[in-house]
């Protein structure tokens, strides 16, 4: 077999056999097939697509390119969740301890922010001392002892995806539905999940700009899960505007803490309860998603989820005093309020543009390995549909320098669209794929 023939076959719209996929991907992982051939192949996949069978094979080959965790001895019903990435999406910080407090273990491997999207690991690391680089033994031990863990993916899990993702990121081949589906599902399979809730984002701040594309991605991931003996459900969630109010690492931790204490913003609370409800349903701790949601709400209101969050922080070396008193979390020296220059209804708060502002303030990274600033970010005071009067606060910018804040101010105003007439609020969800 030759790599070039596999590239040509895909370029011309052919369907690759499982043997060809394995030869190509494992050759890449072993360093026998060079980056430029894999980049050409990824571009061919981007234009020609893959059949569901090809995508399932690609997923399995990537999942088995390294270690595959077996969670069954520590947590046979463990449930996992994955978001396709968004702006202000701090859902894992709330639902992981919430579901664990309801009695279902959660062993979650998360990622870092890239481009305009935030990453759970960067957020958690704004808690002083919090360790996300756990060994597999530490990871499993914490699931057993605490009931939940959020850590970075070790290099030994799905290494093919790590290599391929880095290449896609610099060759314009990230937004390919089969490549995204296989990337996400290979990591979930390697991390040992048997029950997976997928939070598929739709809209201006998501990889999938339209509902149709998001449905296609969701269906493909759910089918891959079933093909490989897992259970999965995908929720199609709005990502036209940021989720909640806070965007930025420590700011999002503060909002997650407020939510766990029953004082979070309505949209983020609703989103978290819905995701947690489906996790409890899929993990058989509730008979229906609605019963799961009710259970999640009860556990949140009882304070048990907040206690579980603190136990997780402590187990991972984080300073519990900093989460009990969030004024101890990193804070930016410059805080500037952006006031409304006019009156009207908010018609758009462009999620990607807000994410880009936050990244430029220093909270995100332009390329892999860049450091992030935990303190900076943006508080978004308005939602689509709000009526706003002149002078009302629209955003609070948290910046290192005055000049950064001024630049952010202009860009944030440009992220808004106004309407003279009332605008309906955006829905939180657009549907479920089972």
Q: Which is nearer to ligand URA, 24 or 46 (CB)?
A: 46
Q: Which of positions 56-95 make contact with ligand URA (CB under 6 A)?
A: 84-85
User: Any contact of residue 220 with ligand URA (CB under 6 A)?
Assistant: no
Total residues at interface with ligand URA (CB under 6 A): 8
| CB 326 within 8 Å of CB 253 | yes
**Looking at the annotation, which residues are catalytic?**
82, 161, 168, 183, 187
User: Any contact of residue 214 with ligand URA (CB under 6 A)?
Assistant: no
Q: Which is nearer to ligand URA, 25 or 423 (CB)?
A: 25
Binding mask 153-182 vs ligand URA (x if CB under 6 A, - otherwise)? ------------x--------x----xx--
Closest CA to 248 of 415, 368, 379: 379
Q: Which of positions 2-41 make contact with ligand URA (CB under 6 A)?
A: none
Q: Which is nearer to ligand URA, 233 or 332 (CB)?
A: 233
Evaluated on CA atoms 235, 241, 246, 247, the torsion sign reads positive
Q: Helix, strand, or coil here: 266?
A: helix
Smallest separation, CB 241 to ligand URA (Å)? 20
DSSP string of 326-354?
A: GGGS---SEEEEEEPSS-EEEEEE-HHHH
Return the residue nearest ligand URA (CB atom).
Answer: 183
Q: Which is nearer to ligand URA, 45 or 376 (CB)?
A: 45
Q: Which is nearer to ligand URA, 91 or 304 (CB)?
A: 91
User: Any contact of residue 183 with ligand URA (CB under 6 A)?
Assistant: yes
Alpha-carbon distance of 251 to 404, in angstroms, equals 17
Q: Which of positions 300-359 make contact with ligand URA (CB under 6 A)?
A: none
Smallest separation, CB 220 to ligand URA (Å)? 12
Q: Which is nearer to ligand URA, 205 or 277 (CB)?
A: 205
User: Any contact of residue 184 with ligand URA (CB under 6 A)?
Assistant: yes
User: Any contact of residue 190 with ligand URA (CB under 6 A)?
Assistant: no
DSSP H helices, 228-288, are: 249-260, 266-282
Q: How far is CA 71 from the centre of its chain?
A: 22
DSSP H helices, 49-119, are: 52-63, 91-101
Query: Phi-psi bin for 361: left (phi > 0), alpha (psi -120 to 50), beta?
Result: alpha
Closest CA to 87 of 195, 227, 238, 218: 238
| CB 376 within 8 Å of CB 362 | yes
Smallest separation, CB 77 to ligand URA (Å)? 24
Token pair, residue 104, equals 């279902």
Residues forming contacts to ligand URA in the complex (CB under 6 A) are 84-85, 165, 174, 179-180, 183-184
């Amino acid at each position: 077999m030759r790599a070039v023939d596999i590239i040509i076959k895909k370029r011309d719209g052919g369907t690759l056999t499982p043997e060809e996929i394995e030869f190509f991907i494992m050759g890449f992982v072993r360093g026998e097939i060079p980056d430029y051939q894999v980049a050409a192949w990824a571009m061919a996949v981007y234009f020609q697509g893959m059949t569901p069978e090809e995508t399932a094979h690609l997923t399995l080959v990537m999942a088995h390119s390294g270690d595959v965790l077996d969670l069954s001895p520590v947590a046979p019903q463990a449930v996992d969740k994955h978001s396709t990435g968004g702006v202000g999406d701090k859902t894992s910080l709330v639902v992981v301890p919430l579901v664990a407090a309801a009695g279902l273990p959660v062993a979650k491997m998360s990622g870092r922010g890239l481009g305009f999207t935030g990453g759970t690991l960067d957020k958690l690391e704004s808690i002083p001392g919090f360790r996300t680089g756990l060994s597999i033994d530490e990871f499993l031990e914490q699931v057993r002892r605490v009931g939940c863990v959020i850590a970075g993916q070790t290099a030994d899990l799905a290494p093919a995806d790590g290599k391929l993702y880095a290449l896609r990121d610099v060759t314009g081949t990230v937004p390919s539905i089969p490549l995204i589906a296989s990337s996400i599902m290979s990591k979930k399979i390697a991390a040992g999940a048997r029950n997976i809730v997928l939070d598929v984002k739709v809209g201006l701040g998501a990889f999938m700009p339209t509902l149709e594309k998001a449905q296609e991605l969701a269906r493909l991931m759910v089918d891959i899960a079933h093909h490989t003996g897992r259970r999965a459900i995908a929720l199609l969630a709005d990502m036209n505007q940021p989720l909640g109010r806070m965007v930025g690492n420590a700011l999002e931790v503060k909002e997650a803490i407020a939510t766990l204490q029953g004082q979070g913003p309505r949209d983020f609370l609703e989103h978290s309860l819905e995701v947690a409800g489906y996790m409890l349903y899929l993990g058989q701790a509730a008979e229906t998603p609605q019963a799961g949601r009710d259970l999640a709400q009860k556990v949140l209101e009882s304070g048990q989820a907040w206690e579980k969050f603190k136990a997780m922080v402590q187990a991972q070396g984080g300073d519990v005093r900093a989460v009990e008193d969030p004024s101890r979390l990193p804070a930016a020296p410059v805080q500037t309020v952006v006031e409304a220059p006019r009156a009207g209804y908010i018609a758009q708060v462009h999620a990607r543009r807000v994410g880009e502002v936050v990244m430029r303030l220093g909270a995100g990274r332009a390329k892999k390995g860049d450091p992030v600033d935990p303190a900076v970010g943006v508080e978004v005071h308005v939602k689509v549909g709000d009526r706003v009067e002149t002078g009302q606060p629209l955003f609070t910018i948290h910046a290192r320098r005055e000049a950064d804040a001024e630049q952010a101010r202009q860009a944030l105003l440009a992220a808004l669209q106004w309407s003279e007439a009332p605008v309906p609020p955006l829905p939180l969800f657009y549907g479920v794929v089972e």
